[in-house]
Amino acid sequence: MLPTPVSGNRSVLFAITVFLSAFLLFQVQPLLAKFILPWFGGTPAVWTMCMLVFQLLLFGGYAYAHLLSSLKSVSRQACIHATLLAVAALSLPIMPDVAWKPTGDEGPALRITLLLLATVGMPYFLLSATGPLLQQWFSRACTGVSPYRLYALSNIGSLLALVSYPFLFEPVFSSTMQAGLWSALFLIFALSCLLCGWTAAVHAKSEATSETGTESCEEETTPSYARWFILAMLPSIMLLATTNEVCMDIAVVPFLWIIPLTLYLLSFILTFESDRFYSRKIITLITTASLVGTIVMMAVGASFGVVLQIVVFFLNLFFVCMLCHGELVQLKPNPRRLTSFYLTISAGGAAGGLFVGLLAPMIFDGYCELPLGIVCCLLICAGTWLRNDAQFQRLVPPATSLKFGSGLALAMTLYLAFFTQHGESTKAIERNFYGVLRVEDDVEAETHRPARVMVHGRVVHGRQFLDEAGRRQPATYYSLSSGAGRVLGQSEPPAQSTEGRQIGIVGLGAGTLAVYGRPGDHMRFYEINPDVINLAWEHFTFLEDCEAEVKVLPGDARLVLEQEVDQQFDVLVLDAFSGDAIPVHLLTTEAMQIYARHLSDDGVLAVHISNSYFDLEPVVRALGDEFGLSARVQACSKGADGGVALESVWMLLCREPAVLTKVLGPDSTAVNSRTVLWTDDRNNLLNVLR
């Protein structure tokens, strides 16, 4: 049955509303996450927590749509939804209140959850309900037209929101302007949604008879709730687990969050738009091959190039999503059960997010979610392939195969939890909101001396030699030839000072920089990760051997320094950039104002800018120009200082150029004239991508 011109106009109205709701739904995620990143240490876990909260809100919105659709009167449904839209409009604009900013070292997970609920909870909840609710209204107002294509359209809107944010909205608009624009678009969406409700209510009664007749003629199959749930949960687990694995092994950057989420949505678009994009046999074979390839790559490790690793991981994620979502489409029910179908899908997605975001850190010491997900995916591939075998279907009922697969997945979970956590050289493993830390004993490659290292992912956060002669020897990024080694090894306290130097260090690691402390010095370490503090005290002796007075302050350095009285540091070290994760909030003009307040007149700011993927020199140089500080670059090659050094790049900034000349000697390097000034409101990593 072809839609009439009138129903075609109605289709356009519903399509525009669904598209706009999906666009706003995914545009607000990076927007709010970027807003609150400076408040919670700039850690990538903020993105993980935001995604988990939004998944739970999505499930709540789908549950609301399901309950609302159970009311027989479409007019009553529209009135209830209109009331809630009005309440949501009162919470605009979506600007996080500074009262939510943490004041100490309290756990960030609960605070982030409550902040997001208070800031955008009601608007996001209603946007989440739009897809299934409007598809239900659409099936009432436009009989004879499949509502499932609106689901593909909503995913296109979500995809455009994700792709456009880092390339259009983030570079062009400040965070405050983005929040205002989003709020204005939400009001337009609300009006459009009200018009859809009114249209559905008007046409529902006139078409009720024909709709009932149509439904009575259609055969109703038993809903496959368990399969819907599992086929939605597994791609969600793979999405978050793959992203965590890529960030841990390659780089922790927002772009690598957007790419997998984009592929996840693209699989929804292709499978729900048309059957021609999903062939069970072909996709099953390709998915199996990609899973095996991923296993091989994870076993071989870093010998694969970075680009190849990214391609293999993300292609594997895409084909897993295509397989699971393609099977979901094969199991989709009659439109009468449309909202329960989407509710089950959202429940599976939320369960996957809960598993990776909350449950896995409590069960596993390391990142075991991806190996577990791969095993489950292989089971899905086997089950999907055998579904084409008639003899297997007769011998093994679907319920039996489902129970067998679930039992095997549980057994794999227990195995990973209790038998694969520690190697022989591993002294300790800790996992929390900020990632996985390992303390391991090894043999240093250049000097062949026994040493103990602290590692976060692939990034070394400190190495201490275990022999007595090397116990107080600075190594890795902090050797004598490094920027930090130069300034801490040569600087002296002011002539008028009767005490030693005042030294501040952002980032503790294993505590290596404590070796530069002299009698009379005062060293203040600022560390956001409590597990780093515990491991530094328990497994390394840098802090206890230090001749200076040492104080370790927990919490985000920027927030702690903001609340402290002026420290008048002779040296302030920013060592939060030795990994590939960039805490942008520590390199903005607002942060620099805090550092400048704490520096003495001739104090030196030493910034560690070593990074494989981003060139931070233009950012630091711009901050120096903005605050009248001279800047010098100090590079140290791998193997320097008797083989104990790792390659590092530091920038030293000071109000007095003569101080830098005294520390580094005459400046013979060409000055990089390019500058990129960041603020809390305007910053974009694309500007400094290598």
How many angstroms separate the CA atoms of 353 and 330, rounded? 24
Asked which of 212, 235, 252 is the last residue of a domain, the reply is 212
Q: Which residues contact 255 (CB under 8 A, 6 or more apart)?
A: 166, 685, 686
Per-residue tokens: 286: 């390709």
Q: What is 641-678 written as a DSSP string?
A: HHHTB--EEEEEEES-HHHHHHHH-S--SPP-------
Whether pLDDT at 419 is above 60: no
Query: Does pLDDT of 475 surpass 50?
Result: yes
Amino acid identity of residue 84, one-letter, is L
Strands (E), 155-267: none
Whether 445 is in a domain gets the answer no
In the predicted model, what is the mean pLDDT of residues 93-105?
77
Residue 485 pLDDT class (50, 70, 90 cuts): very high
The answer to the question of residue 593 being in a domain is yes
Whether residue 79 is found in the same domain as residue 5: yes
Question: How does pLDDT run across 323-358, given as a tens digit for each residue?
Answer: 999 888 888 777 677 778 888 888 898 888 888 878
Can you tell me which residue has the tokens 């995604």? 51
Same domain, 189 and 305: no
With beta carbons less than 8 A apart as the criterion, state whether 313 and 294 touch.
Answer: yes
In angstroms, what CA-CA distances link 97 with 173, 183, 335, 584, 603?
20, 16, 42, 20, 35
Report yes or no on 440 lying in a domain.
no
- DSSP letter assigned to residue 71: S
pLDDT score at 43: 65
The Cα 75–Cα 57 span in angstroms is 25
For residue 218, is it within any domain? no
Which of 216, 198, 220, 218 has its CA nearest to residue 208? 216
Q: Collect all residues with Cβ–Cβ distance below 8 Å to 90 and sequence separation of at least 6.
A: none
Distance CA 78, CA 136 (A): 12
Tell me the C-alpha distance between 603 and 653, whole Å: 9
| Distance of alpha carbon 108 from alpha carbon 102, whole angstroms | 8
Integer Cα distance of 77 and 198 in angstroms: 10
What CA–CA distance (Å, rounded) separates 521 from 497? 11
Last residue of a domain, one of 212, 233, 259: 212
pLDDT at 107 over 60: yes
Q: Are residues 391 and 511 in the same domain?
A: no
Give 504's strand partners: 524, 572
Specify the CATH number for the domain of residue 179: 1.20.1250
pLDDT of residue 621: 92
> pLDDT-derived band of residue 559, with 50, 70 and 90 as boundaries?
confident
Number of domains into which the chain is organized: 3
Q: Residue 427: inside a domain, yes or no?
A: no
> What's the pLDDT score for residue 262?
86
Q: What is the pLDDT of residue 578?
A: 47
pLDDT per position as a tens digit, 131-158:
888 887 877 666 666 666 677 788 788 8
Lowest model confidence (mean pLDDT) among 62-76, 246-260, 448-462:
246-260
Domain identity same for 368 and 501 = no
Amino acid at 284: T
422/443 Cα distance (integer angstroms): 18
Among the candidates 158, 178, 212, a domain finishes at 212
Residue 66 falls inside a structural domain: yes
Tokens of 658: 């003569």
Whether the per-residue pLDDT at 116 is higher than 70: the answer is yes
455 shares its domain with 394: no
Measured in residues, the chain has a length of 690
In this structure, the answer to whether residues 167 and 41 fall within a common structural domain is yes
Alpha carbons 383 and 402: distance in angstroms, whole number: 9
Residue 628: what pLDDT?
A: 92
Same domain, 282 and 233: yes
Q: Are residues 232 and 288 in the same domain?
A: yes
Note the pLDDT of residue 394.
54
Residue with structure tokens 């994620």?
317
Helix, coil or strand: residue 690: coil
pLDDT of 573 strictly over 90: yes
pLDDT band at 366 (very low <50, low <70, confident <90, very high): confident
Asked if 406 and 459 sit in the same domain, the reply is no
How many other C-beta atoms lie within 10 A of the C-beta of residue 24? 22
With cut-offs at 50, 70 and 90, classify the pLDDT of residue 1.
very low
Query: For residue range 173-226, what is the model confidence (pLDDT) as tens digits?
Result: 888 888 899 999 999 999 999 888 888 777 765 554 444 444 444 444 566 788
Token couple for 315: 């292609």
Task: Indicate whether 10 and 140 sit together in one domain.
Answer: yes
Strand partners, 31: none
Please say whether the beta carbons of 84 and 122 come within 8 A. Answer: yes
Do 202 and 232 sit in the same domain of this protein?
no
Question: What percent of the chain has a predicted confidence (pLDDT) above 90?
Answer: 22
Same domain? 369 vs 227: yes
pLDDT of residue 585: 78
Q: CA separation (Å) from 452 to 64, 86, 471?
A: 54, 60, 10
Distance CA(453)–CA(539), nearest Å, equals 9
Give the 3-state secondary structure of residue 474: coil
CATH number at residue 676: 3.40.50.150
Residue 324 belongs to domain spanning: 223-421
Instruction: Tell me whether residue 442 is in a domain.
Output: no
Does residue 444 lie in a domain region? no
